[in-house]
Structure 1
């Protein structure tokens, strides 16, 4: 299986995340994050039973993995319940662009060029249109204020910075992602027990949580890591810009939102900015 197919499989799974998160928005966010991440870690357990060193990573690497998996998903699930889901999803998918913009700050030996700045302005213009368009649509979540978009922007920052910082730690086996998910999931469930009201899950809830854990919060991470280890990271990174369009299209279908000009324009601007950033060579 080629690196491109691994990457496309991961992208297909990630495209379902916002729709699943919206369908489960009635669950406490720590609970949803914890259950899904623990379920997602299960597929690495057989490898660990065969080779216990598969989870032998330095503490710094483990902390980075927990920061990425726990922080990203918790903030995304918060955003999906406190802001209009389609617009929040578009803001979250600024992360490919943020990877380009933040690279000079987080990776030694990289620089920010004028085209990087232009791409950043284009992308943030798309995010602004998504937010203002939600406000103008009169949605109850949007009328409550703009604060629900802050977690979406925070999740984008966390995933971008996590992706860049993985280049500054020692290489780790793909199975170690299961350890990141397990520790993150246990931490989330602990936060749920201390900070959130208890919730009873229906059979439908358990099915959707299992799909979320095994798919976008499980297999997708392993597939993406295998793609990066086998192929050209620049080419694979460009493929990730399929995700916001696929995710937004599926989310609009699930929520039965009509395609407005603001959503279409925001998606076009964010995708254009991301592709522009990816085509700039260091």
Structure 2
């Protein structure tokens, strides 16, 4: 049970970003955003490690796992931020949410050694619910001019899903996320130095990027690693569908807004799909 609480904690961290920062990240270049956020994430996780382990040493995993971390942490966020710059926000958010679907599918495939139709259908239902939440009150238009952004958004889903499932299969006693964020921070600084001039960030930009680094990145990375290295990835995949509705609910609470019926219905669909997926998983485990 604790692994699913860790997963929910990470999901709440991700969901808090829109409510906490609003549009304060608008106008920042991708390299600058990555430098500030990953440096803050690395500092946060290192300080947390020092407090928890009473050691100043950083645990660096072997080369194979380190490459997995660079792929999942640096690679995902670079592609994600780039996709948001090339695609309308609602469409990008829906397409990047496919990582929840792929986590369920990849994990079920590894667990049962073949595709289970019931698992796939419930995963698609959860994805549909998430899309309903994101699309509420917005005009969705698929345009060829944004095709590159669409492809990058879909790639985000595959990167984070493969990283999460790969991390769940790695046998590590220590949490590798501090090392992963150090790698990402160093690569971000390098990318920033070789890229063209960037607009000067405002104080709001910097504060929002620092929050992004400490909570939706730093704290969530620790919680997500704890979750995937011990919990059932199929269940965690279903839980991750809750990210969009929780984000909408937090924004509504902070701004005193009402939540639309479509958002509520989408959340009901997600919860129903999660329950059905868990039931299907239990049935398949009993038959195995």
Q: Shorter-chain TM-score: what band? A: 0.7 to 0.9
What is the CA RMSD across the aligned residues, in angstroms? 4.0
Indicate how the Cα distance of structure 1 residues 217 and 66 shifts in structure 2: closer, same or farther if over 3 A, else same. Answer: same
Q: What is the Cα deviation at residue 32 of structure 1?
A: 1.0
Bigger CA drift: 160-169 or 271-280? 271-280
Residue 217 of structure 1 deviates from its aligned partner by 0.7
1:145 match: 146
Could you tell which deviates more after superposition, 48-57 or 32-41? 48-57
Residues 68 and 158 of structure 1 are in contact (CA less than 8 Å); yes or no, is this contact kept in structure 2?
yes
For residues 77 and 129 of structure 2, the distance between their equivalents in structure 1, rounded to whole angstroms, comes to 22
The equivalent of 2:87 in structure 1 is 83
Aligned residue in 1 for 2:160? 159
Q: Confirm whether residue 114 of structure 1 aligns to residue 95 of structure 2.
A: no
Q: Is the 8 A contact 1:72 1:159 kept in 2?
A: yes
Q: Distance in 1 between matches of 2:82 and 2:245?
A: 21
Partner of residue 202, structure 1: 202
Give the secondary-structure state (helix, strand or coil) at the position aligned to 2:199.
Answer: coil
Q: State the match for 1:42 in structure 2.
A: 43
Task: Note if 1:92 corresponds to 2:93.
Answer: no
Asked if the contact 1:86/1:251 (under 8 Å) is kept, the reply is no
Give the Cα separation in 2 of the matches to 1:181 and 1:21.
Answer: 24
Partner of 1:66: 70
**Are the structure 2 counterparts of residues 216 and 121 from structure 1 closer, same or farther at C-alpha, using a change threshold of 3 Å?**
closer
Cα distance between partner residues in 2 of 1:81 and 1:152? 11
Q: Is the 8 A contact 1:57 1:172 kept in 2?
A: no
Distance 2:172 2:243 in 1: 26
Q: Which is worse superposed, 48-57 or 120-129? A: 120-129
Secondary structure in structure 1 of the residue aligned to 2:146: coil
Shift in Å, 1:212? 0.5
Kindly indicate whether the alpha-carbon contact (under 8 Å) linking 1:37 and 1:182 is maintained by their aligned counterparts in 2: yes
Q: Distance in 2 between matches of 1:229 and 1:147?
A: 33
Distance 1:146 1:128, change over 3 A: farther
Query: 2 CA distance for matches of 1:129 and 1:99?
Result: 20
Q: Give the TM-score of the pair, scaled to structure 1.
A: 0.77
Give the superposition deviation at 1:97.
Answer: 1.4
2:244 alignment partner in structure 1: 244
Deviates more, 1:65-74 or 1:114-123: 114-123
The size of the alignment, in residue pairs, is 278
Q: Distance in 2 between matches of 1:131 and 1:82?
A: 18
Asked if 1:101 corresponds to 2:105, the answer is yes
Structure 1: runs of 5+ lacking an equivalent: none
Paired with 2:182 and 2:188, the residues of 1 have a C-alpha distance of 10
State the alpha-carbon separation in 2 of the partners of residues 278 and 155 from structure 1: 25
User: Which shows bigger deviation, 45-54 or 239-248?
Assistant: 45-54
Shift of 1:270: 6.7
SS in 1 for 2:157: helix
Say whether the 8 Å CA contact 1:130–1:266 is kept in structure 2: yes
Are the counterparts in 1 of residues 126 and 270 from structure 2 also a CA contact under 8 Å? yes
Instruction: Rate the CA distance shift 1:126–1:242 in 2: closer, same or farther, 3 A.
Output: closer
CA-to-aligned-CA distance 1:45-101 (integer Å, 9 cap, x gap) = 243594365413101111111111112222222233332323322322221211122
